[in-house]
Every structure is written in structure tokens, then in C-alpha cells.
Amino acid sequence: MNKLIRFALCLFLLAGLSAAAQAAATLKPYVLASRGSGDMAATVAAVKGKLTAAGFQVVGEVEPYPTAHIIVVTNDSLKNTAAQTPFGGFGATQRVTITKADGEIQVAYTNPLYTANVYRLKGDLADVRKALAAALGDQGEYGPDEGLTAEDLRDYHYKWLMPYFDDRLELAEYPGFEAAVRAVEANLAKGAGGVRKVYRVDIPGKQQAVIGVSMAGPDSDTECSGDAYIMERIDFKKVKSTGHLPYEMLIDKGKVYALPAEFRIAISFPDLSMMGSNSFASIMCAPSAIEAALTAAAGGSGEDD
């Protein structure tokens, strides 16, 4: 084989390796653990047992609609990693979902590697991904047809003029952390804005807590904020993205924050089309309704200062 042929062959092999490396470097928001026949209640109980045995703490559960059960978990790795960045509390939990669709039970969980980059954490949460896979299984990542690189996720926005992770909604402000927590907990207990508490995780060493919430969308101002309303329109693929829920509020010192729906929904469904059926256009009313619902839950005025 002459030198020219060898050189051409090397280039071809390198190009193939580079393409493979690039493909391997992309991430998707969810991991499918298992799918098949079974009983919903029995599967939920079995999954909870496996999570507890693997060292995860179950901090909350919710059934946003009859075919879905969501278990929210955390552990020391998640909380300690979250504590290392200013708004890391958004990434302090993972969601494990049991969904009944087309006669089968799908068990899945949010991808910690994806979470770590979306919320710009210092750690990659690879240990959490490994622990979830060992406990529940790993049949591969899913969500969008094509994944996103870590670099893309850390600077993610859906389209031009759409918000980034640091374009957070400031829902309310209180004299301090404890006052903010008391007010938000009281509002959630009475279902202000149709919003109810699912879990709360305090971030170690910081005056910060993340609170996961369910949204019912009870009135004209917040109707489109409802979890079921949104998911029945955009979660249309065969393998369900139930782990988009629940939504989060973050209390940091005396301020209450949330992520705008144009970011929070898009990062869960990054390949959702802008127009057409099962698109962002089908939930056009959701961003303002979600902001109104969460503002009510936070005790904010909803008015710009």
C-alpha cells in the first residue's frame, strides 16, 4: 500500500472516529429504564423500593393525570453539586416516571448528565446517572430526535430572542429566606393560583430551597398553566416525556424565582416545532398563564417595579 493510499485511509478513519465521538457527546433529556406489561400500582411500589435501596431519598410524588406517576428523588451528590453554583438548586433533584401508554408501562427518569449542563452545574452528575441505571435499568436516552452537546445545553435557548437559563422570572421578594419560605409554603397549602407543593429540598450551606409544584389551571388567568392541559398537547410521542413535570420554584435568600416557560418547556422538548399540531403554538397561552400561576403561589404582585 503506497503512502498516498495509507494517508487517505487514515483520514477516512479519523473522520469516522470524529463523527462517532461527536454523536456520543450529545445528550437527551430522558432515559428509558424499562417498558412492558404490568400493573401501575405494583410498578410504582417496586420502583420506589429500588430507589430507596440505591440510596435515593424520595422527596415527593405526584400523579398529574391518571396515566402518570412521578417520583422525585435526591441524594447527597445532587444536593452538594447544586450547592456549588448560584442557582444550582434547580438541579438538586431527578424525576422518575411511571407512565401507562398504549397498554404498556414505561419507567423512565430524567438524565442527570443533561440536567447538569442545563443548570450549569460544576459537576456532571455521572455518579447519579450510574446509580439510577443500576437501580432501574438503562435502555438508552430519548426525547428529541437528535441530542444536544454539553456546550449547547449550557447556553441553551429555543430560538432567537427566547430566554436563556439566566433569564429567570422574579416572582416575589421578602425580607429574608425564612420569610419567603413561610409565605410560599402558606400559599401552596391553600392552592393559590391552582399551584400545590409536590416537594421541597433545601440546598446545604445556602439560604436556598427548590420547591416542585403541580399546576391545575383553575381559572381564566391560569387555565393554560395546567399540567394535564400542556402535556396532552405536546407529549405526543410513543415514549412519553412525563419527566418534564413537576415545575420548580426556587427561593434564594429573600427572592422567589422560576424559569420562564419558553425555556423550561423547551429544554424538556427541544425538538418541538413552533407551529402546527402538537407544537408550541398549541400551548401559546401557557407562558403567561404559568407565570401568573407561579406569581400567585409566590405571593407576588405580578406587576413590574
Residue 303 lies in a domain: no
The range of the structural domain enclosing residue 158 comes to 27-298
Q: Per the confidence metrics, is the pTM higher than 0.85? A: yes
Residue 21 lies in a domain: no
Residue 72 lies in a domain: yes
SS3 sequence of the chain: CCHHHHHHHHHHHHHHHHHHHHHHCEECCEEEEEEECCCHHHHHHHHHHHHHHCCCEEEEEEEEECCEEEEEEECHHHHHHHCCCCCHHHHCCEEEEEEEECCEEEEEEECHHHHHHHCCCCCCCHHHHHHHHHHHCCCCEECCCCCEEHHHHHCCCCCCCCCCCCCCEEEEECCCHHHHHHHHHHHHHCCHHHEEEEEEEECCCCCEEEEEEEECCCCCCCHHHCHHHHHHHHCCCCCCCHHHCCEEEEEECCEEEECCHHHHHHHHCCCCCCCCCCCHHHHCCHHHHHHHHHHHHHCCCCCCC
Residue 253 lies in a domain: yes
Residue 5 lies in a domain: no
CATH of the domain at 79: 3.30.310.70
Residue 154 lies in a domain: yes
Q: What is residue 150's predicted lDDT score, i.e. its pLDDT?
A: 97
Q: What is residue 160's predicted lDDT score, i.e. its pLDDT?
A: 86
Task: Spell out, as residue ranges, where the chain has pLDDT lower than 50.
Answer: 3-24, 305
Render pLDDT for 4-61 as a digit per residue (tens, 0 to 9).
444 344 444 444 444 444 444 899 999 999 999 999 999 999 999 999 999 999 999 9
Q: What is residue 220's predicted lDDT score, i.e. its pLDDT?
A: 62
Q: How many domains does the chain have?
A: 1
Residue 49 lies in a domain: yes
Residue 12 lies in a domain: no
